[in-house]
Structure 1
Amino acid sequence: MSVTGMTLVEKVIARAAGRAGVTPGEIVTAEVDFAFAHDSSGPRRWRPYLEELGVGLWAPSKVAIVSDHYVPAVDAESAEILKQTRAFVRDYSVGAFFDMVGICHLVLPEHGLIRPGHFIAGGDSHTPMAGAFGAYAAGYGATDMAAIAATGETWLAVPETVRVEWSGAFQPGVTAKDVMLFLCRELGLDNAFQAIEYAGPTVEAMAMPERMVLANMAAELGFETGIVAPDAVTFAYLAERGRPVEDEAAARALASDPDCSYRAVHRFDAAKLAPQIAQPHTPDNVIGADAIGEVAIDQAYIGACVGAKIEDLRMAAEVLAGRRIAPGVRLLIAPASAKTTELAAREGVLATLMAAGAVLLPSGCGACAGMGAGLLAAGETCISSTNRNFKGRMGHNEARVYLGSPYSVAAAAVAGRIVDPRPMLAEQRAAA
C-alpha cells in the first residue's frame, strides 16, 4: 500500500511499526530503537519485573541508564538507590551507563545517542527533549518501561499533530524558553493524545540546544511528544560528537509532506515576543516580564535539563558580567552535565558567574525534582530556569516558584526582584 501525505511524527511511527504509513487514531505496535531511564525510574523498578519474568534486556546495546536524580547521594536511602542502579547495570550488561555526569536528557545527545527517525522510549516525562533530533521520543511509566526493556516493543495510538510555525528574529534577551512559556499560555496544558511539531524560519535558525527546549517542554503542554525536522543543524551537532548521520537524504525525507493533514496550524511572529514569566503554581500562568510588578525573590536557580546547558550559562554570564547579585539573594547554578561545567570553566563563563556571587552545585536534577541542594522553605520565593513550578515541586508547599529564561533569572538575581532582562542586556552590549 502506498501512503502519501504524512506528518513527520507519522513517518517515524510508521517506520517503527514496519508499515508503509499510519493515520491518526490507529493503534500500532512499534519496535523501540533506543530505551533509557535514570536512577529513580529504571533499575530499581525494572528488576522485580524482569526477575519475575525470568528474562533479561531485549537488547542491552540499545539501553542506557543515567544516574542523575539521587546524585551525589545525600542520605543512606539515596546511596542505596545508586548502589542498586550500578548493580543492575552490571548484572544486565547495560550498553551505556553514565554515572554522575549529568542529566539524562542532555547527556545522551552529548554522546550522539539520539538519532533522527528513531523511536525512543524513556523513563521520564521529559523524554520528548530527544524529539529535537527528529525522533519520536515519549516518556513511559515504570511498568511500561519494564515491558519495553524486556521485549523492545510498545503499542501506541498514532497521535494527531499540531504544527507551530515561528518566523522573524527574536529581540535581544528572548529565547526558546520564552517561546515555550508563551505557548503554555496560548495552547494550554491539556493536549493529550497529540504531538507538536515546531517549524518555520525561526526554528530553523535555532541551534540544537534551543530546539531541545522546544521539544522538552512539549511535556508541560501535555503533548505526547515534541519534534523538529532534522536538517543541517542536526547533522552538524551529531557529527561534532563523532556520530554523523550516515544517510542525510533519508533523514531530510522525514520532514512532513506538503499535503499532510494537521489537527491545527499556529503561526507566530518571533519579533513580537517579549521575555515571559510563569507565575505560581503552573507553567501556563504566564505574563510578560515587563508587566510582572514588584516580586522580590529569595533565590534564583539556573538548573535542569531545560535550563542549565552551556548556552544557558552563557546567557546568565552575559547579564552578570561585572555585576553582583543583590544582598539577601542566593543564586544557585547546577550545570546540566559535567561537560557543560568543563566548557563553562574553559570559556571563563564559570568565573563570571562565581565573581557575581553564584554558588556552584553538582550536575543533576537536584532542586528541579525536589531533591538535593537548593530546596525552598515555606514562604520563600524563587525564580528558576526549570520547566515546572507546581506547588511543592522545589521544596515546601508554601514556597512560590516563578519560571523564566536564564536571562530573566540572572537579571532577577541582580535586581533582587523579577525584572525584564532587556535593559540590563542593553547596558552590557552598549558598554562592550
Structure 2
Amino acid sequence: MSDSGPGHPVRRIGILGGGQLARMMALAGVPLGFHFDILDPAEDACAGAAGRLVRAGFDDADAAAELAGQVDVMTYDFENVPATTAGAAAGRVSFHPCVTALDACQDRLAEKNLLTRLGIPVPPFHAVDGRTDLLEAVDRFGYPCVLKTRRFGYDGKGQAVLRGPEDLEHAWQELGDHPLIAEAFVAFDAECSLIAVRARDGRTGFWPLSHNLHDAGMLVLSEACIAGGDLQAQAEDIGNRLIEHFDYVGVIAVEFFVTDGRLSVNEIAPRVHNSGHWTIDGAVTSQFENHLRAISGLPLGSTALDRPSVMFNWIGAMPDAGELLGLEGLHWHDYGKKARPGRKVGHATLVLPDEQQLGKQAQALAARLGGAWPDRWSRFSTARGRLAGD
C-alpha cells in the first residue's frame, strides 16, 4: 500500500461517493491545490462539477482499487459504501477514515454494542430478528418505541415509531424483511451533534456543538450551539473515546439526544456531516477543509466559531434565490441537483455578529419562506432556550 508521507505530498484525492458532501470537500480542497477523482454510479453526480467523475457502482471493488492506484489518498462521502469496496481501495493507497470505523457504523446494532462497550450512554436497545423479538422489545420498552433497520437507513428512512399495538403489523410488513433493532423512545429536550477531527499526527479539534432540528427524520435547521460548557465537555469526552478506539483520521460526527442536561448517542457518522455545514461560513476552518487537511497530513486549522451561524437545509427544491439573497448575512449553497421530494438540494447559512441579530434574521427568513418554516423555527427557538438554560 502506498502512503503519502513528508517526501510525497498529496496532490490527488479520491472520493468514494459523488454527492453534495464530496462536492463541498472538493470545493474546499481546490484552494489548497488538491485535485479530485470521484467514483459514483450516477452520470449527474453533483460532485462531478468539482472534480473528475469516474462512473462505477459502489459495489465495484475493482473500480475502487483502480482509482486508488491513481491518487495519493482516498476518502468517502457516505457510510454506506460497502466495506469490501473500501477495503479494496485501502489495500492500494492511504484510506481515511479507516475501514474499521466505516464497517462499525454501517450496522446500528454493532454500533450500539460498540458504544456500550466503550461506556458511552445510548438509549436502551433490543435486537429484532423475528416477531418474537419485536414483542419482547415492546414489552421491555412500552409505547412509544422505535423500530429501525440495522443497515442503510438514513434521513428517517428505514424506521417507524410504534405508538400503540395497532402499529406493530404495519411496521413489520414494511421493515420485517431486514435485520432490525428496536430502541426506547427518547423524550429529548433537544438534539445536538459534535463534529470532530483528528489529524494523522494525533492532534484533534472540536467545533462547537451543533444544535439541530429534524422534520420527518431529515435535518432542517442547524446552528452553532449556545449550550453551556458542560454539554460541550461531555460531547468532547465521547468524541475522544471514539477517535482513540478507531485510531481515527479525518472528520467524525456524533449525533446526540439532550435530556436533563445529559447526552446520549443516537448514531455516529464516520464522515463530514450535514449538521456541520454552518462551519463553511461560520467557523475559522470548515469541516470540509479540516477533513482534507487531516487525511493529507497537513496541519489542522482552527475549529473556533467565527460568528454566530444557523443553517437552513433545502429539501426537495431550492427556494428562489432572487427573493432571499438580499437578506443581510445570508450565504447561499446550491448543490446543482435536480428537484425531487425528500432530496437535499442545497442550504443557506445566516451569519451575523451576535445571537440576538441572528435570531431576528432567522425568524424573518422563516417567515419569508412560509409553509412549514415558521413552525420549524418556533420549535427550534424553544429548544434553543432549553439548551441555554432559559
Fold shared, TM-score > 0.5 on shorter chain? no
More strand per residue: 2
Normalized against structure 1, the TM-score is what? Answer: 0.27
Normalized against structure 2, the TM-score is what? Answer: 0.29
Kindly indicate whether structure 1 or structure 2 has the higher relative contact order, using CA contacts under 8 Å at least 6 residues apart.
1
